[in-house]
C-alpha cells in the first residue's frame, strides 16, 4: 500500500484514503460503526473525518452522533494513537459560525463527545464572512497552544477566501489552514480544478476531497433512471444529476479500466483521485465491512498514464 502522506505542512502523516464519518449514527448504527472503524484501522489506514454537525437533519439525527460513536469506540478500543482524528466546527445549528467564542465552546463539546483530549485536525466547516479571519485564526492558535488541536483546516472555502486566510496567517504569524476539504471527484471537477487546485499546490496545502464517489454514482450502482430506488436517501438526486451522456461516458471508461485491472469502478475512481497531484486523501464512506475493503483496495491500484488520460478525456466537460 502507498506510504504515508503529510497533510500540508502540519506534520500529520496519513494514509491515502480517509474514512468519512458522516455515516456513523445514520446509515451505520453503533455496532456497525465499531466494526467499520476496527476494520479501517486493521487495514492500515488512519484518517477518520467527522464533524459536530453529523448528521443533523435526517430523521432521528440531532447532530453530534457521529462524534459520540467515535468517542465510544475510542474508549472501548484504546486506539486513539492509531488514528488521525479530524472534525469540524461552524455548521451545527447550536454552534454556528467561526466566532472565537463559538470555536472555544464547540471544541469542548466535540472533545467531550469524542472522549479525547485533543483533535488532530480541526476544520472550519464553511466560511464565516461575519467573523474576521484573524479572529478565528487567533482562536485556533489558542487551542493549538492549549494542546487541544494539532492543526487546522478549511472546508468549502473559495480560492479567494482561502488565499486571503493564508495571507492573514503569514502576515499576523497565526496558524494557517494546512488542509482544504472541497467537493471533488471524476465528475465534479471544474469547481476545484479551476482555482483551488493551483492555489493549494502552490501553497502546499493538503487536500481531503469529499463526495469522492459522487454520492455513489462512480461505483456504477446507478446506470438508468430506474436505479433511483437503490437509495432512498440520495438515489433520486444522483440519477437527476449524473445520468446524462457525460456521466454514462465516465462509467464506460471506469468499466473498461476496471476490467483491465480486475478492479471495481469505485476503486478506479478513487485511484484516479489518489494519483492526482495535490490530493492527500480522498474521503470515502462505507456501511459494511465488505464495502469498506473494496474501497480501501483502491490504495493498491496503480493506474497507468493511459488509464488516467482515458478518464480525463471521458470526464471532460466539452467531450463529444
Per-residue pLDDT of the chain (320 residues; tens, 9 = 90+): 448 999 999 999 999 999 999 999 988 999 999 999 999 999 999 999 999 999 877 777 788 999 999 999 999 999 999 999 999 999 999 999 999 999 999 999 999 999 999 999 999 999 999 999 999 999 999 999 999 999 999 999 999 999 999 999 999 999 999 999 999 999 999 999 999 999 999 999 999 999 999 999 999 998 887 777 777 777 888 889 999 999 999 999 999 999 999 999 999 999 999 999 999 999 999 999 999 999 999 999 999 999 999 999 999 987 54
Round to whole Å and give the CA distance between 319 and 100. 47
List phi, psi (to 5°) of 150. -95, -35
Q: What is the CA radius of gyration of the chain?
A: 19
| Secondary-structure percent of the chain, ordered helix, strand, coil, rounded to 5 | 50, 15, 35
**Which of 3-36 are b and which e, b meaning 16 or more Cβ less than 10 Å from the residue's Cβ?**
eebebbebebebbbbbbbbbbbbbbbeeebbbeb
Q: H-helix or E-strand containing 256?
A: helix 245-261
pLDDT at position 294 = 96
DSSP-derived letter for residue 195 is I
Angle (nearest 5°) at CA 166 between 165 and 167: 90
Which grid coordinates are listed for 157? 472555502
Burial class (CB in 10 A: 0-12, 13-18, 19+), 249: middle
Active site residues: 54
Which grid coordinates are listed for 42? 486493521
Round to whole Å and give the CA distance between 256 and 252. 6
pLDDT at position 320 = 47
pLDDT at position 236 = 85
Contact 50, 66 (CB under 8 A): yes
Q: CB-based contacts of 173: which residues, under 8 Å, 6+ apart? A: none
pLDDT at position 226 = 76
Q: Does the N-terminal peptide bond of residue 239 adopt cis geometry, omega within 30 degrees of 0?
A: no
Estimate to the nearest angstrom the gap between the alpha carbon of 232 and the chain centroid.
Answer: 22
Estimate to the nearest angstrom the gap between the alpha carbon of 262 and the chain centroid.
Answer: 26
CATH architecture entry for 5-217+267-303: Alpha-Beta Barrel (3.20)
Kindly write down the DSSP assignment for every residue of 213-251, as one continuous string. Answer: TGGGGGGT---SGGGGGG-TTTHHHHHHHH-SHHHHHHH
Name the pTM for this structure: 0.95
Q: CB-based contacts of 20: which residues, under 8 Å, 6+ apart? A: 49, 210, 283, 284, 285
Amino acid at each position: 500500500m502507498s506510504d504515508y502522506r503529510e497533510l500540508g505542512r502540519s506534520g500529520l502523516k496519513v494514509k491515502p484514503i480517509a474514512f468519512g464519518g458522516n455515516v456513523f449514527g445514520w446509515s451505520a448504527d453503533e455496532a456497525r460503526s465499531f466494526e467499520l472503524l476496527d476494520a479501517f484501522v486493521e487495514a492500515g489506514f488512519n484518517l477518520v473525518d467527522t464533524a459536530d454537525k453529523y448528521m443533523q437533519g435526517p430523521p432521528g439525527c440531532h447532530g453530534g452522533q457521529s462524534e459520540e460513536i467515535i468517542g465510544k469506540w475510542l474508549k472501548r478500543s484504546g486506539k486513539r494513537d492509531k488514528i488521525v482524528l479530524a472534525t469540524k466546527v461552524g455548521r451545527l445549528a447550536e454552534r454556528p459560525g467561526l466566532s472565537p467564542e463559538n470555536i472555544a465552546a464547540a471544541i469542548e463539546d466535540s472533545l467531550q463527545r469524542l472522549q479525547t483530549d485533543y483533535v488532530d485536525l480541526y476544520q472550519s466547516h464553511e466560511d464565516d464572512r461575519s467573523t474576521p479571519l484573524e479572529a478565528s485564526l487567533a482562536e485556533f492558535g489558542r487551542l493549538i497552544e492549549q494542546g487541544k488541536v494539532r492543526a487546522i483546516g478549511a472546508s468549502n472555502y473559495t480560492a479567494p477566501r482561502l488565499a486571503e486566510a493564508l495571507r492573514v496567517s503569514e502576515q499576523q504569524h497565526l496558524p494557517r489552514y494546512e488542509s482544504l476539504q472541497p467537493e471533488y471527484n471524476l465528475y465534479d471537477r471544474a469547481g476545484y480544478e479551476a482555482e483551488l487546485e493551483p492555489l493549494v499546490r502552490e501553497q502546499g496545502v493538503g487536500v481531503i476531497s469529499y463526495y469522492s464517489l459522487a454520492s455513489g454514482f462512480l461505483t456504477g450502482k446507478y446506470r438508468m433512471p430506474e436505479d433511483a430506488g437503490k437509495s432512498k436517501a440520495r438515489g433520486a438526486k444522483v440519477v437527476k444529476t449524473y445520468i446524462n451522456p457525460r456521466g454514462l461516458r465516465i462509467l464506460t471508461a471506469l468499466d473498461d479500466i476496471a476490467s483491465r485491472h480486475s478492479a471495481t469502478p469505485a476503486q478506479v475512481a478513487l485511484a484516479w483521485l489518489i494519483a492526482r497531484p495535490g490530493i492527500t486523501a480522498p474521503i470515502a464512506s462505507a456501511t459494511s465491512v465488505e464495502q469498506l475493503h473494496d474501497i480501501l483496495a483502491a490504495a493498491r491500484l496503480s493506474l497507468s498514464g493511459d488509464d488516467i488520460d482515458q478518464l480525463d478525456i471521458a470526464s471532460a466537460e466539452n467531450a463529444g
